[in-house]
Amino acid sequence: MRISPDEVLKVARLAELAVAEADLPTLVRQFNDIVGYVAQLDALPPEGDITPFASGPAAVRWRPDVVGPEPLVLPPAALAPAFRNGFFVVPRLASMEPE
């Protein structure tokens, strides 16, 4: 795969970067060098059984990835001066009183 000057200009436009006409050949060459290097990596044969890297000892078991409620250090009732029936009780504002 070869990267053309038009594709470099398109990427620059998407990144909202200004590219000087004099810098365009250098950028095209650099893009093609990067794409060529990645193509070389894709051409390498895998070496046997590749195991994914995990830091720590291999005996450590992964916990199940389950979304659940996060327990609080303090219950909500301990955080408010007044808490009733699962709600925070706040003073009524005078502007909210019926006239």
Range of the domain at 18: 5-43
Q: How many domains does the chain have?
A: 1
Cβ neighbourhood burial of 34 (10 Å; 0-12, 13-18, 19+): exposed
Residues with Cβ within 8 Å of residue 83, at least 6 apart in sequence = 76, 77, 89
Task: Answer for the pair 11, 26: CB distance below 8 angstroms, yes or no.
Answer: no
37 within some domain: yes
In a domain, 62, yes or no: no
Say if 74 falls within a structural domain.
no
Tell whether 28 is covered by a domain.
Answer: yes
Per-residue pLDDT of the chain (99 residues; tens, 9 = 90+): 789 999 999 999 999 999 999 999 999 999 999 999 998 887 777 777 777 777 777 777 778 888 888 888 888 888 888 888 888 888 877 776 666
**Is 96 domain-assigned?**
no
The pair of structure tokens assigned to 15 is: 């990144």
- Would you say residue 17 lies in a domain? yes
Please identify which residue in the block is written with the tokens 């990835």.
65
- Which stretch of DSSP H or E encloses residue 33? helix 24-43
pTM greater than 0.75: no
In a domain, 63, yes or no: no
Whether residue 61 is contained in a domain is answered as: no
